[in-house]
């Protein structure tokens, strides 16, 4: 799985030309991954301001507004890809345009049903 991390609203600081180029690159990568059969799934997430975090604190359930951690970058979306190797997944992540704008892509294997990867 490729986890997309970036600064919320970073595209607002781009020119219209830069935004169109960025989204055009995303479209190209998604088309390529669809054609090669490597794309399994993917989705952008809503603005972090719409997030709620649920956790246990001193035995009680606590629900708070906002993401679960303070950070400049927030989890913004994901791609699930089916690649021949972790290196191929990293190659795809390296091409993701958000990375050039200060974001990051986290490459993480997905556990199989048996959970033997742990």
Residue ranges covered by each domain of the chain: 2-107
pLDDT in tens, 5-40: 988 888 899 999 999 999 999 999 999 999 999 999
* pLDDT digits 0-9 by tens, 45-77: 887 778 887 888 898 888 887 765 666 678 889
Q: pTM for the full model?
A: 0.78
Q: 81 exposed, middle or buried (CB, 10 Å; 0-12, 13-18, 19+)?
A: buried
Cβ atoms of 4 and 105 closer than 8 Å: yes
Judge: domain 2-107, CATH 3.30.300.130: no
């Amino acid at each position: 799985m490729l986890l997309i991390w970036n600064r919320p609203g970073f595209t607002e600081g781009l020119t219209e030309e830069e935004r169109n180029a960025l989204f055009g690159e995303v479209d190209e990568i998604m088309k390529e991954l669809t054609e090669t059969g490597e794309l399994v799934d993917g989705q952008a997430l809503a603005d972090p301001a719409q997030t709620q975090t649920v956790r246990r604190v001193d035995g009680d359930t606590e629900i708070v507004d906002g993401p679960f951690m303070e950070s400049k970058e927030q989890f913004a979306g994901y791609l699930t890809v089916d690649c021949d190797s972790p290196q191929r997944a990293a190659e795809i992540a390296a091409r993701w345009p958000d990375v050039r704008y200060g974001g990051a892509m986290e490459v993480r294997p997905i556990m199989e049903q048996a959970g033997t990867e742990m």
